């Protein structure tokens, strides 16, 4: 049995107006459940268009950082690792 697998980039190639070649601005955070850090998948979206900009895994302490950003509004979605809860959304995030 053959599988047709398509690899999708974690960063959208059409994000040149949002991403910079140097470190640029960043958004940092920590994901926790009942004050306990949890590692999970975190996605960054451009607020205006809804485009996925980046998809990363936090470290074992729930920390994440999106960098190479310009001053644009974003929203972040954190997915529970065991899918026990709906995703958590942070809206109107602006990199510093």
- Regions of the chain short of the pLDDT cut 70: 1-17, 20
CB atoms within 10 A of CB 8: 7
The pLDDT value given to residue 10: 47
The pLDDT value given to residue 14: 53
The pLDDT value given to residue 8: 47
pLDDT digits (tens, 9 = 90+) for 56-67: 999 999 999 999
CB 43 within 8 A of CB 37: no
The pLDDT value given to residue 13: 52
Select the CATH number that applies to the domain covering 25-93 from these four: 3.30.70.20, 3.40.50.1370, 2.60.40.10, 3.40.109.10.
2.60.40.10
Q: Is 81 exposed, middle or buried (0-12, 13-18, 19+ CB in 10 A)?
A: middle
25-30/63-69 β-pairing: antiparallel
- How do the domains of the chain map onto residue ranges? 25-93
Q: How distant is the alpha carbon of residue 3 from its chain centre? A: 28
pTM of the full structure: 0.75
The pLDDT value given to residue 18: 73
The pLDDT value given to residue 40: 92
The pLDDT value given to residue 55: 94
């Amino acid at each position: 049995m053959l599988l047709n697998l398509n690899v999708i980039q974690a960063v959208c190639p059409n994000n040149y107006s949002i991403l910079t070649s140097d470190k640029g601005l960043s958004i940092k955070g920590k994901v926790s459940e009942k004050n306990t850090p949890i590692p999970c998948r975190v996605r960054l979206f451009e607020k205006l268009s809804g485009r996925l900009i980046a998809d990363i895994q936090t470290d074992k302490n729930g920390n994440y950082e999106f960098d190479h950003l310009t001053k644009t509004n974003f929203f972040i979605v954190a997915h529970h690792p065991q899918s026990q809860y709906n995703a958590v959304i942070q809206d109107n995030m602006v990199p510093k």
